Amino acid sequence: MSNKYLPDAEADLIPWGDNFVGQLEQNKEKWGIPEAEVTGVKTALSDFTSLYEQARSPGRTSVIVEEKNTAKALLKAKIRAMVGFRLKNPLITNAQRKELGLHVADKTRSPKPRPSTYPRYSIIQNGAGMLGIIYQEGDGRKGSKPPEAAGVRIHYGVFDQAPSVQEELPASVFATRWPCIITFRETDRGKRAYIALKWENAKGEDGPWSEIASEIIP
């Protein structure tokens, strides 16, 4: 539950407080809140409301304004104490917390769609038996990826002749950072590796294939 529920504007705090106190009075027995604590919040709201109106009048004085500010601080303190202690009762539902004017965190993550684009990439020789893959989304910076992608799936294989389709690439590795380094067997050095990429979301759903590219394994 978010701590940012009290209105910033004093004019908004009064109707918010009226609703809050009304919900407390309506449900105090069900939620096990002592009458004295509900009355304490109600009295603090009444005092602040009265001083707020006085502070808006043409005849206001600096003393009235100071008393209004003190009353507002006391009201907010009582509300926060109520929220932090009594209203953590598991009997109170999130729907009821919203009726109280409280913010309830939405813990449901929006599902990420399947990626709809393919990565741009380049292959670099990165030392004996190693190739590095540098990928990006479109014309973005190196390592960038579309919002729906958790990372990139790199498919690869070593062949004497180029594979005709990407599905023929037998091995794969998932990467979230660039460059992704693929280490090949010593016996593969000097041979040509073929590589193709797909974006992949957090559910393992992938997007369309990139073109197949190749590089000699150093």
pLDDT per residue over 158-182, tens digit each? 999 999 999 999 999 999 988 899 9
Whether residue 126 lies inside any domain: the answer is yes
In the chain, what percentage of residues exceed pLDDT 70? Answer: 95
Whether residue 110 lies inside any domain: the answer is no
Residue 89 has what pLDDT?
84
- Comparing CA positions, the residue from 143, 216, 134, 140 lying closest to residue 180 is 134
Whether residue 57 lies inside any domain: the answer is yes
Tell me the helices (H) and strands (E) count for the chain, helix number first. 4, 7
- Residue 85 clears pLDDT 90, i.e. is over it: no
Whether residue 210 lies inside any domain: the answer is yes
**What is the reported pTM?**
0.52
- Residue 187 clears pLDDT 50, i.e. is over it: yes
Whether residue 179 lies inside any domain: the answer is yes
Name the pLDDT band for 2 (thresholds 50, 70, 90): very low
Residue 107 has what pLDDT?
60
Integer Cα distance of 33 and 140 in angstroms: 56
| Together in a domain, 131 and 203 | yes
Mean pLDDT in residue range 22-36: 92
Integer Cα distance of 89 and 70 in angstroms: 29
| Together in a domain, 192 and 128 | yes
Residue 164 has what pLDDT?
92
Q: CA separation (Å) from 175 to 57, 87, 153, 157? A: 65, 44, 6, 17
Name the pLDDT band for 66 (thresholds 50, 70, 90): very high
User: Which residues constitute the domain of residue 90?
Assistant: 10-99
- Residue 106 clears pLDDT 70, i.e. is over it: no
Residue 116 has what pLDDT?
93
| Together in a domain, 54 and 125 | no
Beta strands in 21-168 (DSSP E): 120-125, 130-136, 151-158
